[in-house]
């Protein structure tokens, strides 16, 4: 596994479903240590891109390299090894409803680690505390949790194997502004503490301006990437409407604290 070069590299990605072309030569590079936001209109293929990076969606053409490994060429056994190096959360939390928070967090550990039940419990409780949940939350089921707690529990599971890369699909969707801001702050603290690289699909401008170093916008089946300031200055009509609409006015065009 290479420690030099980009952590994620997508080159010439083509995804199509029947006659519908979702990506047509999409390129994307994510450097180590950055928070990279992915935005795009409905149906632009944000989740399909994430699935392609994860090796869950085999593209029609193009290359995806993850931590220096060519995902599109790996065997199932090699892909399993790469999977241990990243954590992922899906839009609805995707927790197993029949399992407690602790059991959900232990799932990746059971797949990739050989630990005693006591060690599994101890490690999983550590991850639960890491994301700001109280100890008693570990014994609760997803139905007993608030929306914000579900997001944190899913994040704890994503961090189960100490990944270097975290991929988040709409991490603050459905949260009120205060809970969303608290989640963003948690994410930035964890990135600092754990040296994480983060890829985030989001439509939440607040989150983009609070957390992202760079943004990739999927337009016309390709991606345009830049700093926040660079993207905000891009003349494309969709980008202008998105980053300069009413919601964006309070941020100005210079981006947030991570906009350089």
pLDDT in tens, 108-163: 999 888 999 999 999 999 999 999 999 999 999 999 999 899 999 999 999 999 99
Phi, psi (rounded to 5 degrees) for 51? -65, -35
- The per-residue pLDDT of the chain, averaged, comes to 89
Could you tell me the two tokens for 168? Answer: 């988040």
Last residue of a domain, one of 133, 162, 191: 162
Residue with the larger pLDDT of the pair 240 and 92:
240
- The residue among 108, 129, 162 that closes a domain is 162
Query: For residue 222, is it within any domain?
Result: yes
In a domain, 90, yes or no: no
DSSP state of 149: H
Nearest CA to 29 among 216, 169, 227? Answer: 216
Per-residue pLDDT at 256 exceeds 60:
no
Least confident of 43-52, 71-80, 162-171, 206-215: 71-80
Across 12-20, average pLDDT: 93
Into how many domains does the chain fold?
A: 2
Based on the fold, state whether residues 111 and 8 are members of the same structural domain: no
244 in the same domain as 199: yes
Q: What is the pTM of this model?
A: 0.89
Shared domain check, 254 and 173: yes
Q: Pick the more confident residue, 256 or 114.
A: 114
How far, in Å, CA of 103 to CA of 120, rounded?
Answer: 9
Q: How confident is the model at residue 243 (pLDDT cuts 50, 70, 90)?
A: confident
CA 247/CA 42 separation, integer angstroms: 18
**Do 116 and 191 fall into the same domain?**
no
Asked whether residue 109 falls in the same domain as residue 24, the answer is no
**Containing domain of residue 154, as a range?**
95-162
CA distance linking residue 67 with residue 3, whole number of Å: 7
Contact 53, 225 (CB under 8 A): no
Residue 48 domain flag: yes
Judgement on whether residues 190 and 254 belong to the same structural domain of the protein: yes
Q: How confident is the model at residue 251 (pLDDT cuts 50, 70, 90)?
A: low
157 plus 170 within the same structural domain: no
35/30 Cα distance (integer angstroms): 8
Residue 175 lies in a domain: yes
Is residue 195 over pLDDT 50? Answer: yes
Query: Residue 186: CB partners within 8 Å, gap ≥ 6?
Result: 131, 132, 152, 155
SS3 66: strand
CATH of the domain at 177: 3.40.50.300
Same domain, 169 and 156: no
Residues 1 and 123 in one domain: no
Res. 246 pLDDT band, cuts 50 70 90: low
Show the tokens assigned to 115: 């630990």
State the Cα–Cα distance between residues 71 and 65, nearest whole angstrom: 6
Query: Which one of 129, 162, 195 terminates a domain?
Result: 162
Domain annotation covers residue 248: yes
- Asked whether residue 64 is domain-assigned, the answer is yes
24 belongs to a structural domain: yes
Return the pLDDT at 67.
86
Residues 81 and 30 both lie in one domain: yes
For the chain, percent of residues with pLDDT exceeding 70: 92
The 3-state DSSP class for residue 258 equals coil
Residue 72 near residue 9, CB atoms below 8 Å:
no
Is the domain of 15 the same as that of 71?
yes
Asked whether residue 7 falls in the same domain as residue 35, the answer is yes
pLDDT 10s digits, 52-99: 998 888 899 999 999 888 987 888 888 888 888 899 998 766 899 999
């Amino acid at each position: 596994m290479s420690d030099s070069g980009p952590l994620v590299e997508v080159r010439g990605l083509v995804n199509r479903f029947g006659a519908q072309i979702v990506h047509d030569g999409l390129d994307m590079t994510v450097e180590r240590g950055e928070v990279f936001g992915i935005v795009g209109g409905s149906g632009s293929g944000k989740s399909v891109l994430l699935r392609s990076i994860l090796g869950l969606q085999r593209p029609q053409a193009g290359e995806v390299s993850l931590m220096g490994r060519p995902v599109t060429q790996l065997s199932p056994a090699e892909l399993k090894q790469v999977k241990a190096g990243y954590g992922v959360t899906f839009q609805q939390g995707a927790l197993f409803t029949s399992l407690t928070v602790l059991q959900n967090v232990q799932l990746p550990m059971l797949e990739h680690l050989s630990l005693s039940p006591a060690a599994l419990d101890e490690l999983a409780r550590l991850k639960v505390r890491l994301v700001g949940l109280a100890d008693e939350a570990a014994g609760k089921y997803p139905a007993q949790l608030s929306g914000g707690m579900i997001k944190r529990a899913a994040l704890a599971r994503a961090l189960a194997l100490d990944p270097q890369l975290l991929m988040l699909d709409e991490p603050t969707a459905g949260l009120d502004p205060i809970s969303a801001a608290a989640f963003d702050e948690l994410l930035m603290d964890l990135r600092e503490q754990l040296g994480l690289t983060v890829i985030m699909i989001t439509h939440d401008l607040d989150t983009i301006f609070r957390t992202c170093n760079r943004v990739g916008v999927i337009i016309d089946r390709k991606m345009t990437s830049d700093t926040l300031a660079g993207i905000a200055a891009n003349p494309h009509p969709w980008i202008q409407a998105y980053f300069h609409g009413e919601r964006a006015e309070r941020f100005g065009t210079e981006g947030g604290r991570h906009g350089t």
